[in-house]
Chains A and B, each alone.
Chain A
Amino acid sequence: MSLLDRQRNTDKSGDKAINLPSRALLWLICSFALLLTPQWDRLPLWLIAVCALLASWRWLAQYGKVRLPGRILKTGVMVSLIGVYLATFQGGFSVDTAASFFVVAVGLKWLETRSVRDFYVLFFILVYLATVNFLFHQEILWALVNFTGVAFLLVGLQVLNAPDLPGGMTPIWRRLGAMFLKTIPIVVLLFVFFPRMSPLWSVPLVTGEARTGISDTMKPGDISNLAQSSERAFRATFGGEMPAYRDRYWKGLFLDYLDGETWRQGQQEGARPLGRVAVDGGIGQLEPDQYDVLLEPTDQRWAFALEGSRAVSDNVFEDSPDLFRFRRPADSPVRYRMAREGGALASDPQHPADLQRYLQLPRDGNPRARQLALELRRTMGDESIVRTLLERFREQEYFYTLRPPAMPDNGIDSLLFDEKRGFCAHYAGATTFVLRAAGIPARVVVGYQGGEKGAGGDYLIVRQYDAHAWVEAYIDGLGWIRIDPTAAIAPERIESGLRDAVAEEGSFLENDWASPQRYADVALVQWASLQFDRINYQWQRWVVGYQGQSQMDLMSRLPGGFGMRELGYLTAGIVGIGLLIAGLVSAFQMRRGERYDGFRRVVETWHRLCASAGVPVRHGETPSVLASRLAQAEPAAADSARLFARMVNSHYYSAGKEVGGSEQLKRMRRLLATMKRQVQRSRTRTGNASD
């Protein structure tokens, strides 16, 4: 299409071709600005700046301050922008990079928006930009931003089509609002019943983009960084009772390989399969022991689950005992369903060979910790070692802090013996180290602990600052047991969360000024933030998460056993019936409109009167001719008929102002009544005469 534009514009180059109404253009620019906002965290700053620049260039050109670029300059801008884009986005092709490129294209289009046709092209690509935005953000607020952007576009179109409409923007917005309200029922029906097909082909949404969240390596400082973020990790709804705060251990993954200072997964996860995760895990009512998790996108495959759970929905499976995985990375919000089973850890006796890897340690380093382990081992059994270690944490002056000191060399030694200040990751790592040094198989578990109740108390919100690391150790006869050194050092962290645990230090979300969670002690902020989260949660569960499985589930509850095919029929039926109803309604309104045209009605009555007086209307006859014929037939009514005809004429052919006054109409009605009387009287008289 741009090619066509160019061809057409070559002959009338220069700025003469710009003849779009400014107000329409302004709405388009507003919409563009609005539709860029959902992308701000994805796009590099320079790209947003360039878009702003290009749009303002177009805006200034509207007022003749600058000229739109000629062909050479335009090509130059295009080539250089695309060049910069290619240089910056080195990643391979993915929807993410494609979306960014799309934004570049939209920005460039501003430079060649000269005619009405270009305006429409811009309209279409901006609508599609809104669509693309939905791929990345589905929260209710972003959805509103997108829909508002589209509304701006539609307003812009109206302004374009009627630039000088009197009455300003009010009628335009009112018209759009009325149309919107009228379409809502059909949109809702379509949304519910339109069959959700499985994807025709699959492209991974995002590749290799960093997201806030737990990663599969743990350096001592990592989780304390995460603790500064109040972003939501997931939400959970329980069919029955919620577990107590201290039992809310959401396991994500095991780190069982210590590489210097860093804990890693001993078995690397396999190559990521391409394609999309099944985002829909909704299947019917929650049983009392079940819970639903709505996970925010992590781009990882691991799913978080309470200890001792089993997978219920089929988009998640148990990878190794007590750890759950999706088949594909979660690049959009995923809902899955789990069930709790008693709450015990998997305690199957394991073969010593399998346990060997949970004893791995680096060849050297942290001699004092090793020494401590050997001392404990010399005198005690497994269980006592664990108990002694926890007692040591409880009784000695260990501190739980978000501002741990740097411990560069032999970090575990300096944590345990010198500094005694650290975060959960430090203590979990150190504990695992000591246990392994003492010959007890142990591993670091990374996940979340805790979760705040949402508004209404019917679901949990788990945020990034609830990220936690703890330890599991294998003890003969008991199997794997959970050991949480943090619980020994700072019980508040486990009982009521990070906020209370670091209350004295005042370091809770100290870098996150804007987060409402930081001001949670202000009741209003807390209330508002929770209410908002609830709305968003419902939105995500019922609107965003309304996918194939949920639809089938809903349909199965309707009588009649709906399958995919029936849904198709139903949708077609809805569309058909909707169109029919709309047509009928507008036909009805039209008819009513006709009936209420008083003038026409009066004239029709007159015609009937004439016909009954033996003077049927001839086609193409003017009122005056008809009146004179009537006068011939009924001389008694001659004067009134002529007067009436003159009034009809003046209705049609007088200047606009006098037309259709209700006063005139009333006079015509009166006159018509008189005429009728005259006709009747003369008829009775002639009737009598003929008798």
Chain B
Amino acid sequence: MKNPFTNRWRRWINKRVPRSDLQAFSQRNIFILPTGAGLVFGLLLVVMLLTGINYQNSLIYLSTFLLGALFVGAMHQTHRNLSGLELALVQSGEGFAGDDIPFRFRLKAGREGGVAILLSSEDSELAPVHVVSGQALDVTLPVHSAYRGYLRPDRVRIETRFPFGLLKAWSWIRPVSVGVAFPRPVPAPEALSTVDDGDEAAEASSVEGNDHADIRPWREGDLSQRVLWKRFARTGQMVVADWEGEQGSPYWLDFNAYPGADHELRLSYLAFLVKERGESGAQFGLYLPGQVIEPDSGPAHMARCLRVLATWGQERPRDTSAEPHGTRKKQKGRKFQRPVEEQT
């Protein structure tokens, strides 16, 4: 897209860092380069060597070689600091769009610990953490969500510059699991439900031509859409089709109750109501085109509703298990993946 080289680079990296919720870092996928300071340090070594040559000073030679060798040693040190670590996405977070959504990672050290490990995604960065050898550490990385829907940081970068900051070694984890950003709650106006209360009508999605409709005269406050205009044309009477149980069901939160509003806004209204009702412990059901959640109460129900609101009309990100074939054998330690959260 941007330029062929970037694409190619990206592909090359993606091959080395396949999508997985668990990434073990080794030579295969650790990248290491000098930092800016490291480059200046290299320059300094050259200047020192020139000084040594010019003044025929053995000790300057000696210190140049010593610092140069330490630089190479630091390279291994920095690399080893990262390799052997395992980073797993333990829990992908949920939250309201616009907030930072926490993704919980577990950093597990191998035989050697990791010092000053930095985790970062595109726009957030954590303070460096240390993990002692043989132990694990949970860190929570906030990922900023702009829109409702599935949320997944494309790449989470793990980096270390220890010990001297002259070199940086880094790699990525490209999580499979997705987090969810709920629609941002927006206080909803009073609304009507279009959903039938009865069990058998739960799937009702058709609106027009329904026999159950009671017909009554138009009165102040009825929406103009509800007016049966055909009949008006025929008879000149403004009548309104009143669906059964229309007002009698405070349980139902209905997507169709906000005609005229943008879809996203409707979802935001619903999110607000779900949140409000869920917190007050009330019973409620959720009606979305194509998806109905039976009335219930409790935090689990609320979460489920919010999740459905978040992902309504969206596809899960592709590439959830995209991996070139034939790489399985080489991939030690990443045969298990976190079970994809089963959603109904």
Interface residues of A (CB under 8 A from B): 95, 116-117, 120, 124, 127-128, 130-131, 134-135, 138, 143, 146-147, 150, 154, 157-158, 160-162, 164-166, 172, 175-176, 179-180, 182-183, 186-187, 190-191, 194, 196-197, 199-203, 205, 276, 279-280, 332, 543-548, 578-579, 582-583, 586-587, 589-590, 592-594, 596-597, 600, 603-604, 607, 617, 619-625, 648, 652-653, 655-656, 659-660
Contacts and interface: CB of A to CB of B under 8 A. Distances in A.
**B111, B163, B336: most-surrounded residue (chain A CB, <10 A):** B336
B79 A161 contact: no
Contacts of B55: 95, 135, 199, 205, 276, 332
Interface stretch (B129-137, B224-232, B245-253, B284-292): B129-137
Given A276-B55, A652-B88, A194 B164 contact: no
A95 B27 CA distance: 46
Nearest to B77: A179
B59 interface: yes
Given A200-B50, A590-B84, A656-B135, A120 B336 contact: no
Contact of B70 (A116, A180, A203, A622): A180
A128 B47 contact: yes
The 10 closest A-B pairs by CB, nearest first: A183-B69, A162-B116, A593-B111, A622-B339, A179-B73, A134-B59, A190-B65, A157-B164, A120-B37, A656-B136
B311 interface: no
Interface residues of B, number: 71
A544 B50 CA distance: 17
B186 interface: no
A134 B57 CA distance: 8
B51 interface: yes
Interface stretch (B140-148, B194-202, B327-335): B327-335
Chain B interface SS verdict (over half): mixed
B343 interface: no
B114 to A, nearest CB: 10
B56 A619 contact: no
30 contacts: A120-B165, A124-B41, A134-B63, A138-B59, A146-B59, A150-B63, A154-B164, A158-B163, A158-B164, A161-B116, A161-B128, A161-B165, A162-B115, A162-B162, A165-B116, A183-B70, A187-B66, A205-B55, A544-B59, A546-B58, A547-B58, A578-B69, A578-B72, A589-B80, A590-B83, A596-B111, A621-B336, A622-B337, A622-B339, A625-B339
B53 A138 contact: no
A622 B53 contact: no
B67 interface: yes
B74 interface: yes
B332 A594 contact: yes
Given A586-B80, A620-B337, 6 more contacts: A157-B165, A186-B65, A187-B65, A191-B58, A194-B61, A652-B90
B106 interface: yes
B61 A191 contact: yes
A421 B52 CA distance: 51
Question: Which of A545, A547, A586 lies at the interface centre, i.e. has the most chain B CB atoms within 10 A of its CB?
Answer: A586
B101 interface: no
A597 B335 CA distance: 15
B321 interface: yes
A163 to B, nearest CB: 9
